[in-house]
Amino acid sequence: MILKDPYNRTVTNLRISLTSRCNLRCIYCHAEGEVSPKEQMSAADIAELMQVGAQFGVKNIKFTGGEPLLRRDLLDIVRSVPPGIESSMTTNGTLLAAKAAALKEAGLARVNVSLDTLRPERYKTITGKDCLADVLAGIDAAIEVGLTPVKLNMVLLEGINEDELDDFMAFVRGKENLILQVIELMEFNECKFHGDVDSVEQDLNDRATRVVTRRMHHRKKYCLDGAEVEVVRPLHNTEFCGFCNRLRVTSDGKLKPCLLRSDNLVDIQGRHGKELEDAFREAVSRRKPFFV
């Protein structure tokens, strides 16, 4: 069985929020688009929805939060990923160093680490915590155990980190297991730091020795003297929606067809077997391009 939405987009990717809790307080956090989340799903319920996803042809699962490393049963959840599905995780990296090896052993393939600055004081300003060193140690540990490639998620913040792009490229240059993702700030919580992604992407294009267009969201990957940089632009971008292959799951058990909408959710708490399968079909039928 294959899930296709009314626009003939095939769903092959599940993005599962494991918790709404986080140990940081980033100034731009969009909380995966969750609105007043309730009790988080159990590990058993997550395992079942992943099994249903596998039946529908899902090939990739990404665990997110909040901060997924805060869940004590995270390793059990990772172990329950169905065979043949690649699992990855997005994390702020502060707790990663001590858990990287166990995650790899449990079957996790790779990680994305949120990192918006390489400067300790700026890190504290952005996140509210002084733990940049912990994040850098987590990145090193992930590379060492093979949770690779490690993708660094740098949200471009006007007046805060726009001057660090070259520093980040130097950080990943020559390291085949490190990729930089420059991410456009989402319009949540009235955050006032939306950076000029147009000029950044133009600069990358001018300097790149090679440019690759990825299937996912038609995003561009720029290769610059041994550094790989991807640009993720979800706002006012018809290609971001037009090539989307993802269905999201909120931490409190709702299928979310689109990050930018909360008016078309499908509640799956308490639904099992055929009811859960029908919920997947219903959610996919509600997927629509946000930009038309």
DSSP string, 95-111: TTTTTHHHHHHHT--EE
**How far apart (Å, rounded) are the C-alpha atoms in residues 13 and 59?**
6
**Token pair for 143:** 């590379």
3-state secondary structure of 84: coil
Give the count of alpha carbons within 13 A of 28, CB side only.
21
Asked if residue 60 lies in contact with residue 85, where contact means CB atoms within 8 angstroms, the answer is yes
Distance of alpha carbon 118 from the chain centroid: 20
How many residues belong to the chain?
292
Output the pLDDT for position 288.
77
Please give the backbone phi and psi of residue 222, each rounded to the nearest 5 degrees, phi first. -110, 130
Output the pLDDT for position 23.
96
Please give the backbone phi and psi of residue 209, each rounded to the nearest 5 degrees, phi first. -90, -20
Find residue 114's DSSP bridge partners.
153
pLDDT in tens, the chain (292 residues): 888 888 888 999 999 999 999 999 999 887 666 667 789 999 999 999 999 999 999 999 999 999 999 999 999 999 999 999 999 999 999 999 999 999 999 999 999 999 999 999 999 999 999 999 999 999 999 999 999 999 999 999 999 999 999 999 999 999 989 999 999 987 665 668 888 888 999 999 999 999 998 766 667 899 999 999 999 887 655 666 777 889 999 999 999 998 778 889 999 999 999 999 999 999 999 987 655 4
Output the pLDDT for position 292.
44
3-state secondary structure of 32: helix
Q: Using alpha carbons, select from 97, 104, 131, 98 the residue that is nearest to residue 115.
A: 131
Output the pLDDT for position 156.
96
Cα distance from N-terminal residue to C-terminal residue, the chain: 28
Full-model pTM: 0.93
Output the pLDDT for position 289.
65
**How far apart (Å, rounded) are the C-alpha atoms in residues 216 and 283?**
20
Q: How far is CA 34 from CA 14, 151, 206, 290, 291, in A?
A: 16, 23, 37, 17, 20
